[in-house]
Structure 1
Amino acid sequence: MAKPLTLPSAATLPAVLLEQAARQGRRAALRHKRLGVWRERNWAELADEVGRLAAALAGLGLGPGQRLLALTPPRPQTALLSLAAHWLGAEVAALDPALPAEALSGLIAAAQPAVTLIDGPAQRAVTLAALGEAAPVIYLDARREAQAGGPAGRAYAELLAGQAAPPALAATPEQTAFRFFRWGEHGGLETQALSHAFLLQEGGERVRAHGLSADERALAARAFATAEQARHLFAPWLLAGFSLNFPENLATRDQDRCELGPTLVAGTRETYGRLADDVARRLPPPGHWQRRLVDWALSGQGGAPGRALGYWLVRRPLLDVLGLIHTRHPLLLGPPLPAAQAEWFARLGVRLHALPDVARWQEASAPATAARPFVTSAGA
């Protein structure tokens, strides 16, 4: 087991990455399932890759006071490019590409990125609509670049081909690491800025509160597009030094979770709601004798023998199907579950740790190019 992490005096997210590479460089840091195979990189490899990416981003003109926009599904490249932008003293704005195109276009325009990271044709189209053709674009996959059309961008692999030495770390603890944008209840633009110091403090509290260690296996099954993910998954990953695992794609994330058997799952109300619905579809209908057996097994009746029987016959098979059999830290990010679903997980023995978004959102003035798609009559 790796020794406890001692933070540098001027700690930032990329500085913590370098510290992990120095103290446990050969330990698994990141896995990504690709073409059905889990591919692994250790902390030393990650630090080297982030340093090279930082040099490439500097060549594109990214630096302090500027912004990288990440508009991708969950991908390991997004995490590494975010750290590379932080290395240069720049901030990262992350948006969920699944948002409606009109809302997304307005948020992209409001973010005013110096460089935009996209995954394919759909993200390219909405980026062009919001920013025009001037802003540099990075594609995660060169094959998707050809499909996207429009002005050529840079492929992620191309950024790594350069041999420039990593620049000096330019980030400071007080600088903004992540900035999030959203449309408020009445259509106004709101923003949320999280500094390196804030994220490391919050991440450290999460590591201590849950006893997280380098032995955890965490699944990153959603885009890094919320403050809760930055605070409760991204920062703890760097601080505790555990492995962060990415599914092949959104369609396979439940199957990939079962294969991985994560010890830490950071999901939203939608994540756990989808799993609860999956369980409900597998159960016998209410009133059936098999359903009565399931309900009895989950009730905890019958003393220790009954609980043991219920675990081996019902709870363990269901947890195995859901990919939660090894999960010690089920985190619920954002709004709470409906009471019925929360009760169902409790009966399965999954005690969700609710972590609401308590960081402050502030009103922001949108640039003239940012559409305001959700303005109501009250806010018009």
Structure 2
Amino acid sequence: MSVHELKRPPIADTTEWRVDLPKALEQLRHWAQVSPLQPALRHKRHGQWFVWRWIDALRDVERLADGLRQQGFTEASRLALSGAFEPNLLLLALAAQHIGGELLTLPDNLDAEALHKTLWRSRPTHAFVQARQTQQLWLSQGQSLLDFPELLGPVEPAQRPSRWWQRPQLWSEEGTQWQAGLSVLLEQWLTSGHALAFPESPGSASRDRREVAPSGLLLSGERLHLLAAEIESRLAPLGTWRRRLCDWAIAHPEKGLQRLIKNRVRRLLGFHNLHFIWQATRAPDAQPTPAWLSEFKRDIA
């Protein structure tokens, strides 16, 4: 995980990548005051779940803001974020807002030519990039690297939680490829006051999601489509009696036996605590909601 300091030309076009967070820092301070010791963020690292309490999140934002100032970040600066959504990225975004600088999210799947064009247009003064391959790509653009822990400074390690699964929590397995994603995550997280959890990696997302059994999914249209494919792969093949039984249960959930079957399938999928799915219906990438999840979909126009 690295931060890159870029040379800033006088003119930049940031409209496509800019993220506006007018009330995020105010909301974070609210939760740190009223629920300081309650879980705010959870992330699986090296096979273990770790938790940031609301007071921890606020303190980290303040430390990161100090670290950014030491690296020359001011109200006139632009911070580009690229990579998977997880605590470090979110807290750094809030730190940039703390200072008053501009915030951008850039996809982390750009090739060298596309990255060069994007950087030339957006002109970030600083950037945070997570994936090792992406870091090398930025290095190949001639950018220097700054260490994220250096920005944060010496802090106590995140805690390993106990019994945290009993509380309502939101779930994200997205990254900055979802252009509106950071705004959605911060708005839903900071408005609700629920903990926001992240998988260790894209490859472990399905397993980690089943461990968490979240109450809310924050999904782009593309991710919802992938989730539909995952659900399909876990159900019995089409045409078999087991699949007909599942389809019968979803079509007539009002009866006791069907409801029992439906709830059992949801538990196997890790959706037994699910209350809602966020999806923007007017988004260009909107996808149909899988039948097993349609009753939980919360359309945001």
The answer to whether 1:309 aligns with 2:261 is no
Cα deviation digits, residues 175-221 of structure 1 (max 9, x gap): xxxxxxxxxxxxxxxxxxxxxxxxxxxxxxxxxxxxxxxx6301121
1:1-380 correspondence to structure 2 within 5 Å: 12-130=23-141, 132-133=142-143, 151=144, 153-161=145-153, 216-224=168-176, 226=178, 228-300=180-252, 304=254, 307-313=255-261, 315-333=262-280, 334=283, 335-338=285-288, 342=289, 344-345=290-291, 347=292, 350-355=295-300
2:272 and 2:78 map into 1 onto residues whose CA distance is 40
Whether the aligned pair in 2 keeps the contact of 1:73 and 1:96 (CA below 8 Å) is: no
Computed over aligned residues only, the root mean square deviation of the Cα atoms, in angstroms, reads 2.3
Local SS of the residue matching 1:97: coil
Residue aligned with 1:350, SS = helix
Deviation at 1:287, TM superposition (A): 2.8
Give the Cα–Cα distance (whole angstroms) in 2 for the partners of residues 292 and 23 of structure 1: 49
Post-superposition CA distance 1:288-339 (Å, at most 9, x none): 22232222222207xx4xx3212222x223222332221111112433224x
**Using the alignment, how far apart are the partners of 1:216 and 1:227 within structure 2?**
26
C-alpha distance in 2 between matches for 1:162 and 1:59: 15
Deviates more, 1:119-128 or 1:53-62: 119-128
1:27 & 1:47 partners in 2: Cα distance?
Answer: 13
* In 2: Cα distance, 1:103 partner to 1:354 partner: 33
Shift of the alpha carbon at 1:225? 5.0
Tell me how far apart the structure 2 counterparts of residues 278 and 16 of structure 1 sit (CA, whole Å). 35
SS of match in other structure, 1:280 = helix
Partner of 2:16: none
Aligned 8 A contact 2:82 2:176 in 1? no
SS in 1 for 2:41: strand
Query: Unmatched 5+ residue regions in structure 1?
Result: 1-10, 134-150, 164-214, 357-380
By how many angstroms is 1:238 displaced? 1.7
Identity percentage of aligned residues: 26
Greater alpha carbon shift after TM alignment, 55-64 vs 279-288: 279-288
Distance 1:224 1:235 in 2: 16
Specify whether residues 76 and 299 from structure 1 end up closer, same or farther in structure 2 by C-alpha distance, changes over 3 A only: same
Distance in 2 (alpha carbons) for counterparts of 1:69 and 1:87: 15
CA distance in 2, matches of 1:235, 1:68: 19
What's the offset of the Cα at 1:275? Answer: 2.1
TM-score with structure 2 setting the length? 0.80
CA offset digits 1:222-250 (Å, max 9, x no partner): 11454532443212312332111111111
Which structure 2 segments of 5+ residues have no match?
Answer: 1-21, 156-166
C-alpha contact 2:169 2:214 (8 A) present in aligned 1: yes
Instruction: Tell me: CA distance 1:287–1:160, structure 2 relative to 1, closer, same or farther (3 Å).
Output: closer
Q: Which amino acid aligns with 2:83?
A: T
When structure 1 is superposed on structure 2, of 283-292 and 234-243 the one drifting more is 283-292
Which amino acid is 1:308 matched to?
G
Q: Aligned to 2:128, what secondary structure does the other structure show?
A: strand
Asked which structure has the greater RCO (Cα within 8 Å, sep 6+), the reply is 2
Question: Against the structure 1 CA distance between its residues 109 and 325, is the aligned structure 2 distance closer, same or farther, given a 3 Å change threshold?
Answer: farther
